[in-house]
Amino acid sequence: MKVLVRFFALYRESAGTNRTTLELADGATVKDLVGKILTDYPAVASDGTAVVVAVNSDYVSHNFVLHEGDEAALIPPVSGGIR
Amino acid sequence: MKIRLTQDVLDPEEITQQIRRDTNGAVITFLGTTRNQTRGNRVLYLEYEAYPEMATKQILHILAEVKDRWGIEQATVAHRVGRLDIGEISLVVAIASPHRKEAFAACQYTVDRIKAIAPIWKKEAFENGSAWVGCEELHHAVHS
């Protein structure tokens, strides 16, 4: 299945792009997606910080199961935010 | 419109007028403004970047919460994106309510939650580089 991944702010700069499309196995989770992104774009979250992910504009856990056509986004720490 | 993300200059008077009703005795308008220094470093200008679809969804969720918690019927949020100079308005949150107590509480909650969960980032430009706010401890400044 195909999943769109969008990058913003710091992660956009680290990745050198604002989006990519990943081919993932059916039943893949956000954890699988993050693993692939960190392999393909080693500069993203290179300090080992846990990557926060949103799917279809909602924050999700790394156990979240993805579906064909989902839009995922890697969310750097939010401006002035307390996470 | 309840939520606006825009590159245009924000007009707090116009935004506040949108939520004025004769049923309300209290109107709180919060302005977030761009500061000229951060931890002693002079800031030249700022750049805001949003994930617009998600920011809108998350802010709508926050406004639904303040309706549930404080009965707020009239609320509006406007956020600038793009390049801002020092002293400009980056955020306007306007809340109206029959009584002031609920309006103050709801306004503070809304601003705090926007800062915490709305996917809007700012990058501060300094004389010798720039940095995404919230990331300084984790990441090196991208030197220009």
- What is the three-class DSSP state of B4? strand
Q: How far is B122 from chain A (nearest CA, A)?
A: 6
Contact state of A82 with B132 under an 8 Å Cβ cutoff: no
Q: Is the dihedral of CA B20, B114, B32, B80 positive or negative?
A: negative
- Average pLDDT estimate for A62-75: 96
pLDDT of the residue at B1: 55
Mutate: best of A14, A74, A79, A83, partner B, most B CBs <10 A: A79
Q: What angle do CA B91, B106, B73 make, to 5 degrees?
A: 95
- Asked if pLDDT for residue A18 goes beyond 60, the answer is yes
Per-residue exposure over B8-40, b if at least 16 CB sit within 10 Å of its own CB, e if not: eebeeeebbeebeeeebeebbbbebebeeeeee
Mutate: best of B57, B124, B135, B143, partner A, most A CBs <10 A: B135
Query: pTM for this structure?
Result: 0.90
Contact state of A77 with B134 under an 8 Å Cβ cutoff: yes
Q: How far apart are CA A6 and CA A17, in angstroms?
A: 9
- Asked if pLDDT for residue B138 goes beyond 50, the answer is no
Question: Average pLDDT, whole number, for chain B?
Answer: 91
Give pLDDT tens digits for B59-97.
999 999 999 999 999 999 999 999 999 999 999 999 999
β partners of residue B41: B38
- Asked if pLDDT for residue B135 goes beyond 90, the answer is no
Q: How confident is the model at residue A49 (pLDDT cuts 50, 70, 90)?
A: confident
B108 contacts: CB under 8 Å, gap ≥ 6: none
Per-residue exposure over A53-64, b if at least 16 CB sit within 10 Å of its own CB, e if not: bbbebeebeeeb
H or E stretch covering B107: helix B100-117
B104 contacts: CB under 8 Å, gap ≥ 6: B26, B28
pLDDT of the residue at A45: 83
Q: What is the ipTM of this complex?
A: 0.90
